[in-house]
């Protein structure tokens, strides 16, 4: 299977969890791996409702970097054979960019 992660994040009005699952069945172990790989753990811990936090229309409640990481997490949760990433580091700061490069691109996607 093939998965595309566009530079322009697409977020729908629902919870963080639903934006990542995007209709797929919930697998706790996979979900946790994806959250870690996409550097969302700290954000989720800070939100009062965690993964059940509602993001608002088009992700109104999220920063550009958070939207990009939710978008990345959604793609990783698909567990595709091939991933096409369109500039996945452009909307995140240096620390998160390094995490995504090391943990997601070099490690998670090389499985």
CATH of the domain at 65: 3.40.50.300
Average pLDDT over residues 2-25: 94
Using pLDDT thresholds of 50, 70 and 90, give the confidence band for residue 107.
Answer: confident
| Locus of tokens 């954000």 | 43
| Local structure of 12: helix, strand or coil | coil
Contacts of 72 (CB under 8 A, 6+ apart): 5, 38, 85, 88, 100, 104
User: What total number of domains does the chain contain?
Assistant: 1
**Nearest CA-CA partner of 34 in 106, 103, 87:** 103
Q: Residue 70 sits in which domain range?
A: 2-110
Residue-level pLDDT at 83: 93
Residue-level pLDDT at 64: 92
């Amino acid at each position: 299977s093939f998965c595309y992660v566009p530079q322009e994040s697409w977020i729908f009005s629902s919870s963080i969890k639903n934006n990542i699952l995007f209709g797929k069945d919930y697998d706790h172990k996979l979900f946790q791996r994806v959250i870690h790989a996409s550097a969302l753990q700290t954000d989720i811990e800070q939100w009062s409702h965690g993964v059940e936090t509602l993001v608002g229309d088009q992700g109104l409640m999220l920063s550009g970097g958070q939207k990009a990481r939710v978008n990345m997490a959604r793609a990783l949760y698909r567990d595709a054979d091939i991933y096409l990433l369109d500039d996945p580091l452009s909307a995140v700061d240096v620390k998160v960019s390094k995490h995504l490069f090391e943990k997601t691109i070099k490690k998670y996607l090389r499985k």
